[in-house]
Structure 1
Amino acid sequence: MSDGTRPPRLLPWTGSEGKPCYLLTDGGGPLSRLADVIETTRLEMAEDLLEHAADLLADARATPEQLRFLLTLMCEALTDVHRIAESRDTRSR
């Protein structure tokens, strides 16, 4: 599943059934640029979420519901960051 010069790029989103999406490209096309923008955006969102988590965890008045919601968002962010790291690792080889 390669064009002979580069391995397929794992994209920072999944298909409709939650399966990974891959792109065969030389790395310079519009879909590659879109993936780059989405990766950057998701990493920035994860950083913002970490700041929010620190604030919420420091608040003794945080409710179990707030903490569960935070944990849900953190799981989503960690999934995104892991997918991005895996994609970048594959591309750096």
Structure 2
Amino acid sequence: MEQKVSKTIKVYIKESQTIIELSQIIQQYDSEILLKKNVNGSIIEANLKSFLGLINLRLHDGDEVQVECIGDDAADALKEVEKFMQPDD
């Protein structure tokens, strides 16, 4: 059964991490994974599996993004994105 989950999270990316790494990590999920960011009053949306879309988002530490996952493994995909963007240490 297809699920749809979303969550707004604050981005905390270490200097050693790249958004391309995240894109590669989430390739294992079948779900569509979208990131939405408000830029000067306009909502920019990018598919997390698309390198070009990610570059256009220009994510920075402290940015707030909405992550939306749609598919059979949506909840797991959302957890993976959140784990990458909000590391414990």
Q: Same fold (TM over 0.5)?
A: no
TM-score, structure 2 length as denominator? 0.30
Bigger fraction of residues in strand: 2
Bigger fraction of residues in helix: 1
> Which has the higher relative contact order, 1 or 2, with Cα contacts under 8 A spaced 6 or more apart?
2
TM-score, structure 1 length as denominator? 0.30
Q: Which has the larger radius of gyration?
A: 1
